[in-house]
Structure 1
Amino acid sequence: MLSETRPAGGDTLTFLGAIMRNPQQLGAIAPSSKAIARLAASIVPDSPGAVVVELGAGGGVISDAIRDRMPPGGRQLALEINEGMVRHLRRTRPWLEVITGDAGDLGKILREAGLSHADAIVSSLPWTLFDDAQQKLILEEIASSLAPGGRFSTVTTLTVMPFQRFRNFRGLMHSTFATVGTLGPVWRNVPPALIYTGVRSPDLLAEDPSGATE
């Protein structure tokens, strides 16, 4: 499904204004490029009725890329904590199910939306602004909210890679997901970025051929 054409400048100006008002909340210097958005959205499954959740939707560039890949009958939700961006998304993308909330409450938010799981979760959260406990909490919420075999992707700028908090995040990715990979980098993003991906392990019954559980 193709998203409607809209002036990109409106998204950018709104996003930059939100950054100036609250830089710690958004944790970015510019919106994601269309190229990095397409890469982040590449995990969207093609199974009819799939549920896809975006964390930190910002100006909506990744939301558009997700929509372009959504299968028939799918449900697309965007979680955003910044009130100004929530208003912008609801005004410019009436087709998007926008929810005001914190990624640390993801499981509760999905239940309140009548959902038991997501098939894919796409993120542009500013991981290096979170301490170890926050990173762990959010990644655990993401993993437990995914269906078995569900996929996660998150935008990571190359500028944060030397920092200890990024190294901690990368370690948590490996301890949280069955498999971890990268896509990119995209050098024309500002700043250059790549995508980290994770896959939730199948459920215990699928992993244990005996079918035994503790």
Structure 2
Amino acid sequence: MLPGTRPGDGDTRTFLGAIMRNPHQLGAIAPSSKAVARLATSVVPGTRGAVVVELGAGGGVISDAIRDRLPPDGRQLAIELNHDMVRHLRRSRPWLEVIAGDAGDLGRFLGRAGVTQVDAVVSSLPWTLFDERQQKRILDEVSAALALGGMFSTVTTLTAMPFRRFRLFRGLLESTFTTVGTMGPVWHNVPPALVFTASEGPPPAAGDGPGRR
């Protein structure tokens, strides 16, 4: 971990408090585990000057994992809608560029930040809380923001899979991107989780990362 990082400093307490105050903004019952965070951030490149955006940063567990993978000159931004989590992230992780707002406005936020394209987008958004229009809006924004060869990853729980909105999301993911893969499940997460990956390019070679759908 790089100097100045304080992993887990009040993350769970703040997260649970935010759920109690606004359960419709946070779709999880606990922060993502470190194992899920490592899996989701496997799409983060180690190239110089890489730019990575996180959607739905929550308590910051995935933010820390992104920072561990980024080179020193990389740039890391996080978009978070819940005001309690925004305050927590800004207080506990001053190195993170935190943007308070809706992931559906990704392109506008990046423009304000002087970013034209990003190398990776990592998400833990609660897709089953969004209707089809909201899902499509966010995925279109992600697709437009990714640079050539850029990767998108998103965490989803196994408990979400029976829901109709999960099936809608999976269909939109496959219609928006040319390559979709899955990693996991991570059984020790609460609840158990999968990570979906997506990109506009060809699938990686066998044994070289997430496979094609």
Does the TM-score normalized on the shorter chain lie above 0.5? yes
Residue deviations 1:45-102, cap 9 Å, x none?
Answer: 1110000000000000000000000023110001101111111001000111111111
The aligned runs of 1:125-164 (5 Å cut-off) are 125-164=125-164
Q: SS of the counterpart of 1:106? A: helix
Q: Distance in 2 between matches of 1:26 and 1:196?
A: 19
Q: SS of the counterpart of 2:36? A: helix
Q: Does 1:53 align with 2:50?
A: no
Q: Aligned residue for 1:108?
A: 108
Q: Aligned residue for 1:70?
A: 70
CA contact (8 A) 2:51 2:74 kept: yes
- Percent identity between the two aligned chains: 74
Structure 1 unpaired stretches of 5+: 203-214
Q: Aligned residue for 2:199?
A: 199
Q: Aligned residue for 1:29?
A: 29
The aligned runs of 1:84-103 (5 Å cut-off) are 84-103=84-103
Q: Aligned residue for 2:124?
A: 124
Query: Aligned AA for 1:25?
Result: Q
Query: Aligned AA for 2:42?
Result: S
CA contact (8 A) 1:50 1:74 kept: yes
Per the TM alignment, residue 28 of structure 1 is displaced from its structure 2 partner at its CA by 1.1
Residue deviations 1:112-149, cap 9 Å, x none?
Answer: 00000110000000000000111011100000010112
CA contact (8 A) 2:5 2:93 kept: no
Q: Aligned residue for 1:174?
A: 174
Q: SS of the counterpart of 2:71? A: coil
Runs of 4+ in 1 over 2 A off after TM superposition: 1-9
Q: Distance in 1 between matches of 2:3 and 2:93?
A: 9
Query: Aligned AA for 2:114?
Result: G
TM-score normalised over the length of structure 1:
0.91
Per the TM alignment, residue 8 of structure 1 is displaced from its structure 2 partner at its CA by 2.4
Q: SS of the counterpart of 2:125? A: coil
- Structure that is richer in helix per residue: 1
Q: Distance in 2 between matches of 1:120 and 1:57?
A: 14
Q: Distance in 2 between matches of 1:201 and 1:105?
A: 24
Q: CA RMSD in A?
A: 1.4
CA contact (8 A) 1:3 1:64 kept: no
Q: Distance in 1 between matches of 2:3 and 2:135?
A: 32
Q: Does 1:185 align with 2:185?
A: yes
Shift in alpha-carbon separation, 1:86–1:38, aligned structure 2, 3 A: same
Query: Aligned AA for 1:91?
Result: R
Q: Distance in 1 between matches of 2:126 and 2:139?
A: 13
Per the TM alignment, residue 2 of structure 1 is displaced from its structure 2 partner at its CA by 3.4
TM-score normalised over the length of structure 2:
0.91
Q: Distance in 2 between matches of 1:111 and 1:5?
A: 27
Higher Cα radius of gyration:
1
Residue deviations 1:11-51, cap 9 Å, x none?
Answer: 00000000000011111111000100111111001110000
Structure 2 unpaired stretches of 5+: 203-213
